[in-house]
Structure 1
Amino acid sequence: MLPEPGLYTARGKRIAKIRGKVGLCFVAALSFLAGMTDAVGFTATGDFVSFMSGNTTRLAVSISHGDTQAMLGITALIVAFILGNALGVIVARLVNRRSWPLLLCVALLLCLAALMPTQLIVLLCAALSMGMINAVVEEVNGLPIGLTYVTGALSRFGRGLGRWLLGERKPGWRVQLVPWLGMLIGAVVGALLQNRFGIAALAINGLVAAGLGTASLIIPRRWQRTYMPK
């Protein structure tokens, strides 16, 4: 495969740097939304809608306690999250790797969740949306990015710190804090919103998702294609 024209010129490097900064700002905003959504779901119901590591642990505990109802509910959330990831990739391909249609789907699911009459359906809609959002950005300038989970980001940051302490000066490891900070701040905001509005706060999250979809229209199309799944 031939390299992108101008990739190794000063102008090409400058464009790549700007593309990386824009991508990281987008990642921070999307992680903020994921943190908001997970915090609303967790503080309202005690269940996670994007943190599947936590749900896996909770599933194991419910199995050990023989709690069939909890087992089925948590399993349904994990399955919904997996299906959301799959659906996100499919939609991304169908819309030729554009961000706004995916974010519109996320917005609609979150607004729908806020209107659902039963807790399980609320959580399933939210988990499906959080699975889909992972297809909006998968990497930035070759660096892997996770939007709805930060364990991997913190692990990559820690390994990068270890290499830096050993004298290696490889770039990129510091940016792994971006999704972590985005999710942390978003979770604080989400918890505050849930305290005030209850599960209906998911509608506000839907509006945020719609706003991010609109904002994504100003990101050059060719840049979006590098962020999204191939």
Structure 2
Amino acid sequence: MLPSTSTHRASPGHLHIQKWRGRVGLALVASLSVLAGMTDAIGFMASGDFVSFMSGNTTRLAVAISDGDSGLTIRLILLVATFIVGNALGVVVSRLGGRRALPLLLSIAALLCLAAWPFDTQLPALLAAIVAMGMLNAAVEEVNGLPVGLTYVTGALSRFGRGLGRWVLGERRSGWRVQMVPWSGMLVGAILGAVLEHHLGLRAMLVSGLFAGVLGLLTLKIPRRWQLGYMPR
């Protein structure tokens, strides 16, 4: 069960609901992380650029600047800026959709299907996928008070490592273990994405889009009040 600061006052019924809310939330996080990992692997293998891992693109940007490569510098600045715009759009779509996951995930699905379109150049497809991954971060922000990331796992690994350190020192809080959920999901998704890209190339984005749409439909089974707790305010 995921920890909460108020569980010691809660009734057994409330604790049971909280446990299931946490389990469903983590299942959603795992699924969305698979989507992020799949999409990032497809985009990276097809174009050489990350579509969700902006830390990597930022490091590449610094190297491009130091090398005086103006073309790559401009391209990477565009990618990072597009990701920021995607995050902003995710919050807007989430709010306009009544903080329900379905409108957000259907928008993401449409963008990923667009990214599979055979454009004359890869850049439009890449930008569509990056906007989608930025928007994805608005789908789940926390589960039972624990912060989670969907399109990046450095924070998850950091929180896991710090929790492990506290556990070694004798603290027995267990929430830090759930940080392996988004990391594992992204790893599995990236493996799937790599396999798909080998066979389909950038058209594999269509699989990501269909997966996002299916996840959106599945969220209809999640109670409304739980979704309100998962998504950013």
**Counterpart of 2:138 in 1: which secondary structure?**
coil
In the alignment, is the contact (CA less than 8 A) between 1:154 and 1:180 conserved in 2?
Answer: yes
After superposition, residues 174-189 of structure 1 pair within 5 angstroms as: 174-189=177-192
Aligned letter for 1:224? Q
Greater shift, 108-117 or 42-51, is seen at 108-117
CA distance in 2 between counterparts of 1:197 and 1:95 reads: 33
> Number of paired residues?
225
Structure 1 unaligned residues grouped into runs of 5+: none
Map of 1:31 onto structure 2: 33
Map of 1:98 onto structure 2: 100
- Find 2:198's aligned residue among 188, 195, 199: 195
Map of 1:135 onto structure 2: 138
Q: 1:28: Cα distance to partner? A: 0.2
- Find 2:22's aligned residue among 20, 23, 47: 20
After superposition, residues 87-166 of structure 1 pair within 5 angstroms as: 87-117=89-119, 118-166=121-169
Map of 2:75 onto structure 1: 73
Moved over 3 A (4+): none
For 1:5-40, what per-residue CA distance to the aligned partner results, in whole angstroms no more than 9, with x for missing partners? xx7111001100100000000000000000000000
Aligned letter for 1:215? L
**Counterpart of 2:116 in 1: which secondary structure?**
helix
CA distance in 1 between counterparts of 2:74 and 2:181 reads: 34
Map of 1:205 onto structure 2: 208
Q: 1:171: Cα distance to partner? A: 2.4
CA distance in 2 between counterparts of 1:85 and 1:116 reads: 25
CA distance in 1 between counterparts of 2:50 and 2:228 reads: 30
Calculate the TM-score normalised by the size of structure 2.
0.95
Aligned letter for 1:121? P
Q: 1:155: Cα distance to partner? A: 0.1
Aligned letter for 2:124? I
**Counterpart of 1:115 in 2: which secondary structure?**
coil
- Find 1:217's aligned residue among 205, 220, 232: 220
Kindly, what percent of the aligned residue pairs are identical?
Answer: 63
Calculate the TM-score normalised by the size of structure 1.
0.96
Aligned letter for 2:41? A
CA distance in 1 between counterparts of 2:39 and 2:139 reads: 16
CA distance in 2 between counterparts of 1:120 and 1:72 reads: 13
For 1:191-218, what per-residue CA distance to the aligned partner results, in whole angstroms no more than 9, with x for missing partners? 0000000000001100000000011110
CA distance in 2 between counterparts of 1:116 and 1:91 reads: 27
CA distance in 2 between counterparts of 1:159 and 1:81 reads: 28
CA distance in 1 between counterparts of 2:34 and 2:97 reads: 24
CA distance in 2 between counterparts of 1:78 and 1:116 reads: 23
